[in-house]
Structure 1
């Protein structure tokens, strides 16, 4: 028999926070201890652990009277806003935050999370970290037009919700609408972090223009000395440097501010901290140079020129993976079914591969493939200069473990 939907007033009148804790989470008898908590906490540890999701602000939507789901996130965010619809739940959260003697006891779960992180004895420090990071306890409503009413909310880097929406939403339409409204609380998403490695730049900088807004430290590189010299000329504004103004203006137009192109140039110049030699087929792509673990690595029109065959291409991907943090991203853009290209009057070979072969190489190199995009080459002029029939972009991640 289908259970009638519990309306908000039912929760307000009848939801007992202590009974909820004793039934589901209390030591040795809570029915969620074990399967649910281990499932949820391991997922959250993998999500927010080293190399995982992080940022400035996390919104916790519909916490109930619980804090366990925030323990891993406390290491990854500076500002945590927790919230619930029910006043009795919010009061319980506030009790735990101010260490009231009759607050719900989460010690057993905190110790388990610390064990996942490799330091069970550090549980008291974990508690204090979370208490310090939680800056607000707010009322939220999953079915309201504005989930936080008139309260001004910062754009969040991440939003988390556990065991909430399935209780608050009457049907799938309501659930979908709630997800749409929660999406409005988030920043526009994209890959970002501290360090980006640009592998095989050639003499070009255009592929770094959008990344300049997302990373603090960009290391660009190429195999050829003449390419590295061109990059250095552009960085120091030499009069005979290659002129990328037309492309910089196009990128600024994509970002909604074409007139800001000079600022974009200066941002990129400031963010590029090194121009290094790299070698896609060497055992160590940067030789003896010590490299930081990168949040992201990007490579455009490089590996298909450097690699002789698919085995070499796959091996190059494996070596590039070692340059990334666990969970770090790689974005490779290039051409498919291309056998040659010309530079001036010189001819150069290109590794010809298909979309399926590129995807197989990423799988064999043990990446988690997030997105593969292919578009056909519509402009057939210049086929005597280079004979590719399409363009590809692969976005993948190095696994957390």
Structure 2
């Protein structure tokens, strides 16, 4: 499957957005009631209504310009019908400076979109990826089930196997997207997909080399600059670099500072109560801690739990028997320590030596215990 589809994607032509503005034209032939149409774009990191138009004879049009292609959406609101009766009528797409057309019968959510190269390439890629995404969701939904008391329905070994299956599928999906990105060095969607890959674990030096293959125009674009910044941030978490100090509150609301442990080996363990693979890995971390506690070693758990979820965080610490230092600012993926070290997937960990230098990364299972035993006598 992969060998036949990916070469087809490589043949997709790249047409630079020569024009400096966009025109969005829409036709909803079967909508026979008054309605307004809204163009939604990203503003200040939030999706907001950018423009609106009244549907006249089933038609609408928007005009404007963007500095680079971006995610957007068209939403239709029927004036005389409460939206709750038909659910939000909305379709996401990629907006770029071109002539873009929407054609639908009675609902915009099923419209055919033409004219946007970025949108077409994205839909082609998603058509390949969708089966694997559905598989990941199905496994997570099934093996994440809990009973009325909040206990998992499946035993730990079954959940661990499910977690491994998810990780394998995620890696296959990543490889498909990486092939797409590297085969589209002049395409915005190639760079966009490459940037999405950076949401997962990656080796900065390798990704920097691949990033340099994109066209000069793309590298100097807003997305290009953002991508390079993310690569540079990730370098902070590489073995051989000095660990960046931080202060964050523990479960009791007391501030903890990393440098207070200088002189010890320290494992920074990034996890979250909602992360099934993290919870499945916790027994290995507990084993390593129990074998080495009392020696020149400490663990600092950094939770990526969200605002309002301190109870879930504390319950997970208690349930999994995690006796080491636990800190969080309860900002989810925007956790300040995670942002500092470029952590964009969990579980992840960093091993720091007594001098404050990073000497290991993403040690798992028996490898974690063995590595620590070699270092800590």
TM-score by length of 1: 0.20
TM-score by length of 2: 0.21
Between Structure 1 and Structure 2, which shows a larger proportion of helix residues?
2
Structure possessing the higher radius of gyration over alpha carbons: 1
